[in-house]
């Protein structure tokens, strides 16, 4: 995850450094054709001899919530980074909201957003200043009202004028979520969205994400190590291991296939190489 934060910081610096915002509110690239929110075909990322991502393919339907699971080093972050166009694939194709990535990424970046508690925002700036900068990068209209709305929705009012460096981990996570929603994205990529939140706040964030998906018909792809969260939120689960897709189905069908009652048990089966029902 540290690597992803580095890529992201570099990316934002590049956009600011060139003085060119990312043309966020451009007309949508041809996605009226019913194309998937995300399409990944035969995707490979090879780092010297490490197959970080090893020939994976999937399509993610619009308006769905998909969980990307897998142990440490399974290839989740690299997959998400390639979907965002931050890492170039060794081979294979990615398209997002009908646009080829990375070639046409600037056509759709304004309709996407990303959140990870591992990516810090500038510490000396206040929450309001940070949200203002990101809102301007996305050319959000009526930005002040949008920030007020997010502050109400995500309960940030109490520390809106406090610098980011003086927030608790849980408060930072809520601010990071506000940043991810600032442009009302059609596609939200989340990395452990409830890490470091207490159970009550985590539950509240999950509810917020579910509501956001419903009200905006948004598509959410989230990497998580929290199996209960994935069971609760996701219509579909993609399990990765050593760069490959090990399983891909609804949580219910996956649990049935492994003859398990929880995704946590399935995760342990996959991690420890135990076979699912019906495989030899
Ligand atoms: N820039 C890089 N150079 C070399 N190897 C890399 C690089 N980035 C990732 N890797 C390797 O690729 C593999 C997949 O890493 P990745 O970060 O995608 O896994 P992950 O599933 O996100 O893991 P975690 O749950 O620990 O965050 C790992 O073996 C990792 O060491």
Task: Give 111-134 pLDDT, tens digit per residue.
Answer: 999 998 778 888 999 999 999 999
pLDDT of 196 strictly over 80: no
Within a domain: 280: no
Q: CA of 216: how far to CAs of 62, 64, 146, 226, in Å? A: 11, 11, 15, 25
| CA 73 / ligand 1 centre spacing (Å) | 5
Q: Check: pTM over 0.80? Answer yes or no.
A: yes
Within a domain: 256: yes
Within a domain: 57: yes
| Ligand 1 atom at minimal distance to the Cα of residue 78 | 18
Q: What share of the chain is helix, strand, coil (3-state, %, to 5)?
A: 40, 20, 35
CB of 129 sitting under 6 A from ligand 1: no
pLDDT of residue 120: 82
Domain that holds residue 110: 2-271
Hey, whose CA ends up nearest to atom 16 of ligand 1?
75
Hey, whose CA ends up nearest to atom 30 of ligand 1?
73
Count of structural domains within the chain: 1
CATH code at position 131: 3.40.50.300
33: CB partners within 8 A, 6+ apart = 98
Average pLDDT over residues 198-221: 91
Hey, whose CA ends up nearest to atom 22 of ligand 1?
77
CB-based contact 52:243 (threshold 8 Å):
yes
Within a domain: 40: yes
CB-based contact 190:66 (threshold 8 Å):
no
Average pLDDT over residues 122-150: 96
Within a domain: 276: no
pLDDT of residue 93: 97
Cα-based angle 59, 63, 66 (whole degrees, multiple of 5): 55
Q: CA of 16: how far to CAs of 11, 20, 138, 185, 212, in Å? A: 9, 6, 12, 20, 29
The β-bridge relationship of strands 219-223 and 65-69 is parallel
Gap between the Cα atoms of 72 and 88, Å rounded = 21
ipTM for the predicted complex = 0.98
């Amino acid at each position: 995850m540290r690597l992803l934060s580095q890529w992201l910081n570099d990316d934002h610096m590049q956009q600011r450094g060139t003085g060119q915002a990312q043309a966020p509110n451009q007309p949508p690239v041809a996605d009226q054709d019913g194309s998937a929110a995300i399409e990944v075909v035969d995707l490979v990322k090879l780092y010297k001899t490490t197959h970080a991502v090893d020939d994976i393919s999937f399509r993610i339907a619009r308006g769905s919530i998909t969980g990307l699971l897998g142990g440490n080093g399974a290839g989740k972050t690299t997959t998400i980074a390639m979907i965002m166009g931050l890492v170039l694939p060794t081979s294979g194709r990615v398209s997002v909201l009908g646009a080829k990535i990375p070639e046409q990424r600037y056509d759709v970046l304004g309709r996407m957003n990303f959140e990870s508690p591992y990516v810090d925002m500038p510490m000396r700036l206040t929450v309001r200043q940070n949200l203002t900068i990101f809102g301007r990068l996305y050319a959000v209209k009526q930005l002040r009202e949008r920030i007020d709305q997010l502050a109400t929705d995500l309960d940030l009012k109490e520390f809106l004028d406090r610098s980011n460096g003086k927030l608790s981990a849980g408060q930072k996570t809520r601010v990071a979520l506000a940043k991810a929603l600032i442009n009302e994205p059609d596609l939200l990529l989340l990395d452990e969205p409830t890490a470091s939140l207490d159970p009550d706040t985590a539950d509240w964030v999950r509810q917020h994400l579910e509501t956001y998906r419903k009200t905006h018909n948004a598509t959410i792809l989230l990497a998580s190590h929290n199996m209960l969260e994935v069971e609760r939120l996701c219509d579909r689960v993609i399990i990765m291991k050593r760069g490959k897709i090990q399983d891909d189905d609804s949580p219910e069908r996956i649990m049935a296939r492994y003859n398990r009652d929880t995704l946590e048990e399935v995760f342990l089966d996959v991690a420890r190489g135990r076979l699912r029902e019906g495989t030899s």
